[in-house]
Structure formats: C-alpha cells, structure tokens
Structure 1
Amino acid sequence: METTTCIGFPAQLNTDCRVLVLGSMPGVASLQAAQYYAHPRNRFWPLMGVVCGIDATRPYPDRVRALNAAGVGVWDVIGQCERRGSLDASIVRGSEVPNALSALIEKLPALRAVACNGGTAYRAFQRFIAPALIGPARALPVWSLPSTSPANAAWPLPRLAEAWQPLADAVRR
C-alpha cells in the first residue's frame, strides 16, 4: 500500500470551549466524509452521547453544534502527514505537520483540560505541542484517554465511558 498525504480538518469549537478533544489525524472514512469520527464503528459519537448527553444519531452538523454547546471542542494534533491506510501506526514518522494548537490553546480562556483520544494523539501532543505552551497553558491537564477507534475493540462503550468520565466532570463544573 502506498502512502497518501492526509490533510486534516479545521478545529470545531467555540471560544468558551472547556475541554479540547484531540485526535491524531482523521482516518480514511472521516477524510472521505469530511467529518470527524465518521467511521461507523468508531465509538466517539456514541461516547459523547453517554458522557455529554448529545444525541449521537443527529446529522453531523447538529452533533458538532451540540458538542460545542456542551463545552467540548474537537481538533487533531497533526494537521498533515503521510500515511498508509487509516491506522495511527501507519503515519510516516517525520512527515507530521502539527496544527497550531499552542496558539489556539492560549486563546481559549475557559479551557480546563485537553483530552487526547488515544496514545498516538497524546504522544504527538507531548512531542509537538507541549514544548511550545507558555504561561497558564503549560499548567493545563492533558489526559491520555483510550481511543474510540474500532482498532481499540478491547474497550467496549461502557468501559470507554468510565475512562472518559473526567471530560464529563470538567465540562459540568
């Protein structure tokens, strides 16, 4: 399988974002649909239904608006990369171009935490973004949460919901 240049999406958030959920890079199904977490077996939207009370069956624009209204934003650590297929493990090391997250984080006064959707997103955040954070942004909690990807089938939805509970707590306080 040959590598493909993958280019991510713009951030989906409001200025009153309290938790910023970061993936690594959208998978092939998401890129083709131009929607975050579009793969039918990805548990992100059902999980947001459980932890944030949004209706995960609504059309995509409605889900994004409801998530933003709940205080949750979505983006990715990596804005562009070379990859073979959809798996994070297939991202070609050295091809990653990070999104401008440090600048964004500094402009979100209500931000309480960053939630990385999976280990790859967390490691990319630590590698590319954390060193550039300044001032109060350096003290923000950054959570490495289990991935909602279908590749993480060992984590059923109830177990994911328990692990992602800190997100629910942060947006409610």
Structure 2
Amino acid sequence: MPELTRQRCFAPVVNQTTRLLILGSLPGVQSLAKAQYYGNRQNAFWRLMSEVLATDLVGLAYAARLQALLEHGVGLWDVVAQAHRAGSLDSAIRNRDDNDLPALLARYPEIRTIGFNGGTAARLGLKILGERAAHYRIVALPSSSPAYTLPYDEKLVQWQKLGQA
C-alpha cells in the first residue's frame, strides 16, 4: 500500500483576462513529481483542452501550454490546497485543507465559468463556494484522469461544453 504523504496543490494559473477556471481536486503523484498540472501522460486533460480550444497543447512545452491556456482565457487550480493521501486517487484524500476559491474569484472578476474536472472537485468546490456558485456558469466534467474509465470520446462530448464559455 502506498505511503500516506502530505500533498500540496500548485499555485493557480490565472490572470486578469481569465474567463473560465478549471478546478481539479489535487494533483496526482506523477503531476507532483513533475511539478506540472496534469503531468501524468495518461491523463487526457491536455488532449481534451486541445480539442476544446482547437489548439495543439499536447505538442507544446509545459510553460507554453500554460501560456496558451491563459491566452484563451482559461485558468487552472485545485479545490484542495493540501491533504494527506496515499497514491493519486481522490478517494484516498484525508485531512484536507481547501483552497480559498471565493477569494480567488473576487480577485479575478472576469471569471464567469467554472469547470470542475471530476466528481470530487465538483462536490468539494460547490461546497466551498456555497451560494456564490449561483453567480457562475458551472460545468461538471467527467474526470480527465485515467482512473476514470469513461471512454475518451464520451469525455470529449462533455468537455466540449467548455467551448461555450
């Protein structure tokens, strides 16, 4: 069984032109090791966003991927600031501290749409936002994680809803 370790999320990737904020739960082990959002090559996030934005993000270096997201008005962050977790599964998250989503949203008033990458992110994020969630277009997405075994084409249909942001 993997060792229970304290894991921390990355800093938010946002700027004053961010209109769409995609929130995951907490980076997995491979992402943390690479210090990259969605660093597990089996995670479909970069492929999905490439199709949503009609821009090849997969072929770019990591810093260029983040820059391309920002240029398209897309930001990234996680709902969990830090937690104990063995491995990468959301179901293993324990003793979590949540990110201050309301404060981030107050600092970036152009954000109009929040996409939750997976059920855990949506459940926790909506709880953190409370009544504030009503002020945003909320898109609950199937997880881009390889642990969520929905076929890619079915995930893509749901992720395409972000293109309407």
TM-score of the pair, normalised by structure 1: 0.89
Distance 1:15 1:139 in 2: 18
> How much has 1:21 moved relative to structure 2?
0.1
Identity of aligned residues (%): 41
Corresponding residue of 1:106: 106
Structure 1: where are the runs of 5+ without partners?
none
| Unaligned stretches of 5+ residues in structure 2 | none
Map 1:11-50 onto structure 2 (within 5 A): 11-50=12-51
Quote the residue 2:72 is aligned against. Answer: 70
* Aligned match of 2:4: 3
Runs of 4+ in structure 1 over 6 Å off = none
The match for 2:136 is 140
Is residue 2:147 matched to residue 1:151? yes
Whether the 8 Å contact between 1:54 and 1:63 is mirrored in structure 2 is no
RMSD between aligned residues: 1.3
* CA–CA distance in structure 2, aligned partners of residues 63 and 54 of structure 1: 10
Of 73, 86, 96, which aligns to 1:84?
86
Quick one: distance in 1 between partners of 2:112 and 2:34?
30
Match of 1:130 in 2: 129
| Offset at residue 154 of structure 1 (A) | 2.1
CA–CA separation in structure 1 for the residues paired with 2:39 and 2:131: 30
Deviation of 1:132 (Å):
7.3
Secondary structure at the residue paired with 1:164? helix
